[in-house]
Amino acid sequence: MVCVKLMSTSLTGLVFDIQRCSLHDGPGIRTTVFLKGCQLNCQWCHNPESIAFGPELFYTAEDCIDCLACVAACQFGAQQAGANGTHGFDHARCTACGACVAVCPVNALKLVGTPMTVEAVMAQVERDRDFYRRSGGGGTLSGGEPMMQFAFTRALLSAAKEAGIHTALETNGAAPWEHYAELLPLVDLVLFDFKATDSAIHRQLTGMGNERILENLERLYRAGKPIVLRCPLVPGINDDAGHLRGIAAVSQRYPQLSGIEVMAYHNLGTAKSVRLGATAPLPGLPSATPDQRSRWIETLHALGCAKAQLS
């Protein structure tokens, strides 16, 4: 038994953020661990740095002071000096080695994606144990898609359960059922994304159909696992009447859902895409307005989806 525990805590995963005192990723005060890598490519993703499986480099041009220290540090020619002494960055040449990050005096360069052991992650999660106990909170695994680092996710959840910490898993539902089945004893709550009702539209918006996703939702529900349905809504993209009816239909099919959260689109991912050197998939689309958010909730309630609330 001791050997198994040592092996699990020595596993390494790629983490791109750990947020303490999170209030939106499950009940109570939580620590949310964001793992890198996702098999979907949602047009509205507000964490585009979570999609790729390897480390990436954020470059915030407006913070750069053109000191050019990074040019000397970069051996791949990604960091460049312009003719007028200004800094330039060729994302295509970047290997995300981090040498430039170490010498940047103003943090205009940031490495996204840090290898961490289970033990290192749990050391941060356990720092807020008192808050979890008092608020009914715990730890949440998110991403990206945590199921894409399945062995690491399983080991983290197991370590949290051994420590007596409430566990939540946020997932897009697209992993093989066998993996979800293996995690059932380790997960106290599933935050399950429901992005589009029609499979063809789901494929258009995310790169994958939703047949397996809906099958996994059915199986998780039948297994008696507490589930909060999370519904990202993007104005003019997936907030049509058909999808709102689809959300209501799911609520009626699964009346014991723990909750239905409407996650209104915000455009923070646009600036992040620029920092990654990528083109934002929804450039210029503003965040959802208060009126749009209210209309979604009113429509869902009128359709009999009484549990729907803004996240």
What confidence tens digit (pLDDT) does each residue in 91-117 have?
A: 999 999 999 999 999 999 999 999 999
Q: What integer best gives the mean pLDDT of the chain?
A: 94
pLDDT value at 281 more than 90: no
Residue 10's alpha-carbon distances to 63, 94, 115, 124, 223, in angstroms, are: 37, 29, 11, 15, 31
Q: How confident is the model at residue 1 (pLDDT cuts 50, 70, 90)?
A: very low
pLDDT, average across residues 293-308: 98
Q: How confident is the model at residue 83 (pLDDT cuts 50, 70, 90)?
A: confident
The three-class DSSP label of residue 145 is coil
Strand partners of residue 172: none
Domain positions in the chain: 2-53+113-310, 56-112
Q: How confident is the model at residue 279 (pLDDT cuts 50, 70, 90)?
A: confident
Per residue in 201-246, pLDDT (tens digit) is 999 999 999 999 999 999 999 999 999 999 999 999 999 999 999 9
Q: How many angstroms separate the CA atoms of 144 and 155, rounded?
A: 17
pLDDT value at 3 more than 70: no
Residue 16's alpha-carbon distances to 111, 115, 150, 171, 276, in angstroms, are: 9, 9, 16, 16, 14
Tokens found for residue 201: 């539209």
pLDDT, average across residues 11-26: 94
Superfamily of domain 2-53+113-310: Aldolase class I (3.20.20.70)
99-276-142 Cα angle (round to 5): 95
Tokens found for residue 77: 């020619």
What share of the chain has pLDDT > 70, as a percent?
97
**What's the confidence (pLDDT) of residue 10?**
73
Per residue in 114-172, pLDDT (tens digit) is 999 999 999 999 999 999 999 999 999 999 999 999 999 999 999 999 999 999 999 99
Which of the listed CATH numbers 3.40.50.970, 3.30.750.24, 3.30.9.10, 3.30.70.20 matches domain 56-112? 3.30.70.20
Q: How many angstroms separate the CA atoms of 258 and 26, rounded?
A: 11
Task: List all residues 6 or more positions away from 122 whose beta carbon is below 8 Å from its beta carbon.
Answer: 9, 156, 159, 160, 163
Report which residue type is found at 201: I
Residue 127 DSSP symbol: G
> Of all residues in the chain, what percent are helix, strand and coil, respectively (each to 5)?
40, 20, 40
Asked, colleague to colleague, whether 2-53+113-310 and 56-112 share their fold, the answer is no
**What's the confidence (pLDDT) of residue 257?**
98
Helices (H) and strands (E) in the chain, counts: 12, 13
Q: How many angstroms separate the CA atoms of 152 and 94, rounded?
A: 27
pLDDT value at 8 more than 60: no
